[in-house]
Structure 1
Amino acid sequence: MTTSSVRHGGKVLVECLENQGVRRVFCVPGESYLSALDGLYDSDVDTIICRHEGGAAMMAEAHAKATGEAGVAFVTRGPGATNASSGVHVAFQDSTPMVLFIGQVASDQRDREAFQEVDYRAMFGPLAKWVGEVDRTDRLPEYISHAFHVAQSGRPGPVILALPEDILSADTNAMPVPVAVLPSGRAAESDVTSVLEMLQEAERPLIIVGGGAWSESAGLALGEFAKATGIPVGASFRCQDYLDNRHPCYIGDIGIGINPALAERVKSADVILALGTRLGEMTTSGYTLLTPPVASQQLIHVHADPSEIGRVYRPKLAVVANAGEFAKQLAAAAPSTALPASSWMSDARNDFDTWQKPVETPGDLKMEQVITHLNEVLEDDAILTNGAGNYSAWLHRYYRYRSWRTQLAPTSGSMGYGLPAAIAAKLEYPDRDVICLAGDGCFQMVSQEFGTAMQYGANVIVLVSNNGMYGTIRMHQQKRYPKRPSGTHLVNPDFAAFAESYGGFGATVNNQAEFVSALARARAANRPSILDLKVSPTALSPRALLETID
């Protein structure tokens, strides 16, 4: 959209968003950006009104994950911005492209501690790739173009742009800038050759995938390369949908609650290709699977951000490239005839298959059976979301992701992510099953966003693992301070009645037979649903049991 007529800054801003290909924004309205809301009024941009700024920011982040586009959120100044910071942190640690617009006090009131004034450069500096504040209405197109370039280039991440209300409401004839032009992210062919040579010379090679800027085509290329070379592939924390888990070279997730056999395999590998992953704390089991700063394994680190390479681990070979594009380059250069499977590869896959066999936990309703049933009845394109909590350990261990971007979960470990992410995914893919798994504590951090799902017909299904406590913390207490629980007990509402109070579908589930029936009814309900799963408080995780509750 281009025009040279005089309009207020809010309309120019929305024109700029349309030029960047933005189709949907998430917001909580505020008086500090009324002009932007006015600009959205007669635009083609779908505006989703949320209940809390944290939910809006997480929806924008999940939209970006699900689509590959930059997510966009609007929040008001002060408390609105601080509430949204949790979603910004998710986008930063998950390498997700996002632009957060924040209303700001008028420019002639800056630095007076005006009502709800915050210095956003200072506040968001450690949490974002770039923080800017527009200083002239006619520079809006320049700032927005820069924001979208930064958010999507190199290692993707969040960008913050503050909008002083007087600048946003002033008139201008500024022209919007065309869509951002991004670098290819491809590596030099010499880098591809060097990586192939190191992998071919290895006896026990291993690929660990993760990070941002992947795509469905990149995941398929990764599968082709792994099949051609016979190299096992492990997924870094919450990146399990990068490769079809049925692929013969997929060997499991390298994250929290890792398969002990896989952990030993990472330690015994002689060459590791870290493809996009930062090799952070969760993926390295607290920096123990690879010992910093020089690991015993020869490390090839491919990452889009040169400052990430060598931050913790000194690599044997470093490549600055977009990991997804590099996977395509590897696939194109791989041998045309697949190599026979080695015992290193087949043993790794056998370890994964053994780890997938459910281990029984206490109670009439068992999470391992819940996940097994999801595997059996959901289509390959079903999207599963979750926040943080021990309930997710069953999902990570037993669910098999079969398609790209069917796992939406925060590598930052943020509670409350599952429901906003599910809403964003369902709005984008209304014909696909979208299942949110949440703990009772996790869900109640964002339960108000169930109203957003109702308002926009985002027919998500929420499975609340209800054990009456903050289970993860209770597990750690049991390990360090046994029989001395403190600060972890929860008094919960009737979650099924909560859903029904909004006009959704709700059901209380006490055993596996009830779950099978309730899930079928929720899938057929054609409205947002909550299933209250009454799980045993003694089943803290697939491997940790609590004998008594004191």
Structure 2
Amino acid sequence: MNDAISGGPRSGAELVVKTLEERGVRYVFGVPGAKIDSVYNALVDSTIQTVVCRHEQNAAFIAGGIGRMTGKAGVAIVTSGPGVSNLATGLATANSEGDPVVALGGAVATEESLKQIHQTMDSVSLCKPVTKFSAAVPSPAAVCEVVSNAFRAAESGRPGAAFVSLPKDIMLAPAQGKLIVPPSFAGQGAADKAALGEAARLLSAAANPVVLLGLLASKPANADAIREFVGKSDLPVVGTFQAAGAVGAHFMRNFGGRVGLIANQPADRLLESADVVITIGYDPVEYEPAQWNNGATRPIIHVDVMPADLDNCYSPAVELIGDIAGTLESLASILDRTQTSATSTSILNDIDEHRRALEREARGRNGQPVHPLRLVADIQPFLESDVTVCLDMGSFHIWLARHMYSFQARQLLMTDGQQTLGVALPWAIAASLVRPSEKVLSISGDGGFLFSAMELETAVRLKCNIVHMIWIDGTYDMVAIQEVQKYGRKSGVDLGPYDPVKYAEAFGATGFMINHSDDIVPVLKRAFDTQGPVIVGVRVDYSDNHKLFEMVNRDTFH
């Protein structure tokens, strides 16, 4: 259905903003400039709140956080030239993470696009490799078409990033346009009936099938369906880092834990034991098939909205392509399997014992600097249903991704595709806007924090109630550990110190330090009780970090 815009001809910029309103956009994030100022001017008269950021990359990160938590594309609007090029990392991150984002970038006038003038850039070509959709608006009449198709690309299938270049002359030109309203009813149904039947046959005949959950498993609708499916079939489950929250607390006995990066976890032993693997919403970028399926001949059942990217180590026997929730409901109705195998039960019991041993070890880790296991153990009780946790990338991320539990979809946000430094604080800002009545905890290393720390001013301006914790060790430790393992020495990883408390105070935020393991809980309680953004620093003991990357015999986990 197309609705004419009342009031006669408008500018291209006004059509852009009207299209955003039609899509239900509440916030846009970005940095203005001369080539996009007509759109910023039109935003003043709209229902949309404009949030000016301190860097375009962070605008894309915040938009990605909005997309992940709502399922609707977050929007970043930036100026031409470096404004667009600064988006690239944020768009690549969103595309790898499956987060819907629409980025709008200013551009020089169409007739000047091939001239070497101020901020000329082929931004469409620049963004094409890191997005699902990248196009320029060619005329005033095409504004609504191009922007609407960008939203469709970003939000459909496996979500990701889309980019639209908005030439200055087209934004200023009169545009008699119609709003393009999305279909009222759209979407995929369950997978093919014959494919469902074959999948049910393989699972029913298997001695020891295992479920591997991926990033799309943590979408709320899919997570609900997975819980129903696991409850009826009693199948053992492992999940990638991005699948956090897809398994409910009452299915913990079925859950072997998280897998990712390197096959050295107890859950990898469970996955290795499977004679059939059913992957749900899994993308190879989360955990390379060569890590967990190299040389295996067992059949794989691929459940997803998209066909698999075929790989020497990942070539499904059956693909169930369609709506994931609907597919699982249909599969459960014909699956003749209601009990976990003895092999899986034994491994799951071993994993539970290992989990309890780690908890006991964590409680005994005292002193200063603080061991990561103690931090995980003391943070875990804060992860109630009204708390969102956003993780940056670094050694700390692996400790938390492997050992912190979440039983709520899209509660624990992690980066896994590009493993991008700097996402945590922008995601926390997004969470505070999407979930204003909830608490937000973001965590980064002292290296990653400074990739986006300038957005602390944005958080203060927006009065975001967020707690950001910085794990301090003075190095890019995740890189250092791997360098030492490969070369026997480290290079280019040492950092200088800074004072988190003074940094926070300089921006009008509150700062605390955790000086001893016994301080973790009281300082976090005080931080959550403080209005506005809070920075919490803690010096960490990373002496055991080499174990994160060591290949071990998984039989030792029982």
TM-score by length of 2: 0.91
Q: Which residue of 2 aligns with 1:524?
A: 529
Q: Which residue of 2 aligns with 1:437?
A: 443
Q: Which residue of 2 aligns with 1:207?
A: 211
Contact 1:393 1:542 in 2 (8 A): no
Using a 3 Å threshold, how does the CA distance of structure 1 residues 397 and 215 change in structure 2: closer, same or farther?
closer
Give the alignment partner of residue 41 of structure 2, picking from 38, 42, 59.
Answer: 38
Contact 2:366 2:517 in 1 (8 A): no
1:125 aligns with 2:128: yes
Q: What number of residue pairs does the alignment pair up?
A: 538
Deviation at 1:246, TM superposition (A): 4.9
Q: One-letter code of the match for 2:240? A: S
Which residues of 2 match residues 485-500 of structure 1 at below 5 A? 485-500=490-505
Q: CA offsets per residue over residues 342-371 of structure 1, 9 Å max, x none?
A: 323423432442343244568622221222
Q: CA offsets per residue over residues 171-219 of structure 1, 9 Å max, x none?
A: 1121111135642253123332222221111111011111338532321
Distance 2:194 2:204 in 1: 15
Contact 1:186 1:321 in 2 (8 A): yes
Give the alignment partner of residue 70 of structure 2, picking from 36, 49, 67.
Answer: 67
Deviation at 1:376, TM superposition (A): 1.7
User: What is the SS of the residue equivalent to 2:407?
Assistant: coil
Deviation at 1:61, TM superposition (A): 0.7
1:465 aligns with 2:471: yes
Distance 1:386 1:22 in 2: 25
Contact 2:27 2:49 in 1 (8 A): yes
Q: CA offsets per residue over residues 206-248 of structure 1, 9 Å max, x none?
A: 1111133853232121011112111111112322222225523
Q: Which residue of 1 aligns with 2:415?
A: 410
Q: Which residue of 1 aligns with 2:242?
A: 238
Deviation at 1:491, TM superposition (A): 0.8
Distance 1:380 1:122 in 2: 42
Contact 1:154 1:185 in 2 (8 A): no
Which consecutive aligned stretches of 4+ in structure 1 deviate over 6 angstroms post-superposition? none
Which residues of 2 match residues 151-550 of structure 1 at below 5 A? 151-179=154-182, 182-212=186-216, 215-247=219-251, 248-256=253-261, 260-280=265-285, 282-284=286-288, 287-291=290-294, 295-306=296-307, 308-309=309-310, 313-331=314-332, 333=334, 339-356=338-355, 357-358=358-359, 359=361, 364=368, 365-412=370-417, 413-482=419-488, 484-540=489-545, 543=548
Distance 1:475 1:88 in 2: 29
Contact 1:362 1:536 in 2 (8 A): no
Contact 2:66 2:431 in 1 (8 A): yes
Deviation at 1:65, TM superposition (A): 0.5
Q: CA offsets per residue over residues 133-186 of structure 1, 9 Å max, x none?
A: 001112111111211112222222111110001101111121111135642253
Q: One-letter code of the match for 2:35? A: S
Distance 1:59 1:206 in 2: 35
Distance 1:458 1:409 in 2: 20
Using a 3 Å threshold, how does the CA distance of structure 1 residues 394 and 47 change in structure 2: closer, same or farther?
same
Q: One-letter code of the match for 2:138? A: D
Distance 1:448 1:125 in 2: 28
Q: One-letter code of the match for 1:414? A: T
Q: Which residue of 2 aligns with 1:23?
A: 26
User: What is the SS of the residue equivalent to 1:288?
Assistant: helix
Distance 1:402 1:165 in 2: 47
Distance 1:496 1:333 in 2: 58
Distance 2:66 2:248 in 1: 21
User: What is the SS of the residue equivalent to 2:314?
Assistant: coil
Q: Which residue of 1 aligns with 2:553?
A: none
The answer to which structure has the higher helix fraction is 2
Q: Please, what is the CA RMSD of the aligned residues?
A: 2.3
User: What is the SS of the residue equivalent to 1:404?
Assistant: coil
Distance 1:451 1:349 in 2: 46
User: What is the SS of the residue equivalent to 1:446?
Assistant: helix
* Comparing 462-471 and 359-368, the one that deviates more: 359-368
Contact 1:458 1:528 in 2 (8 A): yes
Deviation at 1:542, TM superposition (A): 6.1
Contact 2:196 2:331 in 1 (8 A): yes
1:85 aligns with 2:88: yes
Deviation at 1:131, TM superposition (A): 0.8
* Comparing 391-400 and 58-67, the one that deviates more: 391-400
Q: CA offsets per residue over residues 229-285 of structure 1, 9 Å max, x none?
A: 1111111232222222552322211213555332232222110111121234x524x
Contact 1:9 1:172 in 2 (8 A): yes
Deviation at 1:308, TM superposition (A): 2.5
Deviation at 1:323, TM superposition (A): 2.9
Distance 2:380 2:327 in 1: 31
Contact 1:239 1:407 in 2 (8 A): no
Q: One-letter code of the match for 2:314? A: Y
Distance 2:192 2:549 in 1: 47
Q: Which residue of 2 aligns with 1:548?
A: none
Using a 3 Å threshold, how does the CA distance of structure 1 residues 231 and 525 change in structure 2: closer, same or farther?
same
User: What is the SS of the residue equivalent to 1:379?
Assistant: coil
* Comparing 238-247 and 297-306, the one that deviates more: 238-247
Contact 2:238 2:271 in 1 (8 A): no
Deviation at 1:64, TM superposition (A): 0.6
Q: Which residue of 1 aligns with 2:556?
A: none
Distance 2:340 2:30 in 1: 51
Deviation at 1:541, TM superposition (A): 5.9
Distance 1:51 1:532 in 2: 22
User: What is the SS of the residue equivalent to 1:287?
Assistant: helix
Distance 2:308 2:524 in 1: 46
